[in-house]
Amino acid sequence: EVQLLESGGGLVQPGGSLRLSCAASGFTFSSYAMSWVRQAPGEGLEWVSAITGSGGSTHYADSVKGRFTISRDNSKNTLYLQMNSLRAEDTAVYYCAKDSRPAMTTGTTYDYWGQGTLVTVSS
């Protein structure tokens, strides 16, 4: 059974940093691209970042480029999101999502999602 378990969310002041983790199990982690997708309270889904199965290529939404860094440790089956210079508008539930393919392509689809972790940026 595929499981994705996010952790690391919490309350942080504007300008602060936070690192999210996503522990994966039930599939060959290194064979699939992974992404972070967020959802602000009462809002829709927003793609944040993606990383290929090998970790060799990363992609970011313009809204987080230069502030967030996605990474993965395939030996630990864990995905990370380092978030720096946090802003109030980064407040959201952050989901870890498994791609159905090893790299983002036109057929990129998220076939499994974690339960999400809430990040609140406020003073």
Q: Which residues form the interface with other proteins (CB under 8 A)?
A: 35, 37, 44-47, 50, 59, 61-62, 95, 100, 104-111, 113-116
* Least distance between other proteins and beta carbon 123 (Å): 27
* Least distance between other proteins and beta carbon 75 (Å): 26
Residue type at 14 in one-letter notation: P
Residue number with CB closer to other proteins (38 or 72): 38
* Least distance between other proteins and beta carbon 77 (Å): 19
> What Rg do the C-alpha atoms of the chain give, in angstroms?
13
Longest dimension (CA), the chain: 40
Residue number with CB closer to other proteins (50 or 86): 50
> 58 CB contacts (<8 Å, ≥6 apart)?
49, 50, 51, 52, 69, 70, 71
> Which of 60, 50, 62 minimizes the C-alpha distance to 103?
50
Residue number with CB closer to other proteins (47 or 80): 47
The count of residues in the chain is 123
> Which of 87, 81, 98, 94 minimizes the C-alpha distance to 25?
98
Residue number with CB closer to other proteins (17 or 109): 109
* Least distance between other proteins and beta carbon 3 (Å): 12
